[in-house]
Amino acid sequence: MANTTAANIVVGEAVVRVGTSNLTMTGTDFDALRHVGYTQGGVEISWQPDMVDIEVDQFGDAAKVIQSKVKVMVKTTMAEGTLENLAVAWSYNSTIANSDSASSDIVNTLDGANTTTFKFGGQSVYPFEKAIQIEGNAPNSTASTTYTRKFRTKRAISMESSTISMKRAEATVFAVSFRVLPASDDTGYEYGKIIDQKPA
């Protein structure tokens, strides 16, 4: 069949990394973000434009369609029930501190030796912004050679409700939906980048 390339079919799971937002991040900084561990159901990155019809009497229909706004979302379910992952899902500071402070939401030994405590109190009107890197397979990957595709964004906030459950026969998982926000200084790639590694 002409103009078809099986090597361009992309499959496989992704590695999700999340950390504190920093508008001056480099590729090395993204690679150093905290790995959230196992996920369930994969990862979805969605581009959701809101289109508006400009209707005219002569057609009784749209003569033009414009994009009024756009929403970029990242969704996954974190399968490792750590306090850091819970803090990410609930939009708290997910960095573990060794001493208590107003800015620390996860603290070691706060409630005794060999403990880690997640403090979830009243939140500011400003949610914690996170940087995200998602790394999966790129086209041309094979069983012997893997090429990577990396999605990187500097500003994302947890947007939807998430629960913690403790059930006899089910794992504790945290579903999370991130709204990606534009970084105004990154002209032309305000929402981020998708970088494919390819054969030399």
Quick one: which of 153, 127, 114, 118 has its CA closest to 17? 153
154-193 in b/e form (b: 16+ CB < 10 A) is: bbbbbbeebeeeeeeeeebbbebbbebbebeeeeeebbbe
> Is the dihedral angle over the CA atoms 186, 189, 193, 196 positive or is it negative?
negative
Please check whether residue 155 is in contact with residue 181, taking contact to mean a CB–CB distance below 8 angstroms.
yes
For the segment 162-174, what is each residue's pLDDT rounded down to a tens digit? 899 999 999 999 9
Which residues of the chain register pLDDT less than 50? none
In a domain, 156, yes or no: yes
In a domain, 115, yes or no: no
Quick one: which of 43, 60, 116 has its CA closest to 86? 116
DSSP string, 81-139: --HHHHHHHTTS---EESS--TT-SEEETTTSTT-EEE------SSPPPEEEEEEEE-T
Which structural domain, as residue segments, surrounds residue 21? 16-52+65-80+128-196
In a domain, 122, yes or no: no
Q: Residues 71, 52, 189, CA angle at the centre, nearest 5°?
A: 35
In a domain, 145, yes or no: yes
In a domain, 88, yes or no: no
Q: How far apart are CA 24 and CA 26, in angstroms?
A: 7
Write down the pLDDT at residue 63: 94
Write down the pLDDT at residue 1: 66
Write down the pLDDT at residue 131: 98
Name the DSSP class of 6.
G
Q: Is the pTM of this model over 0.75?
A: yes
Write down the pLDDT at residue 103: 85
Query: Domain tally for the chain?
Result: 1
- Element of type H or E holding 28: helix 27-31
In a domain, 26, yes or no: yes
In a domain, 178, yes or no: yes
Write down the pLDDT at residue 102: 86
Which residues contact residue 10 at a Cβ distance below 8 angstroms, ignoring those fewer than 6 apart?
Answer: 136, 137, 138, 139, 141, 149
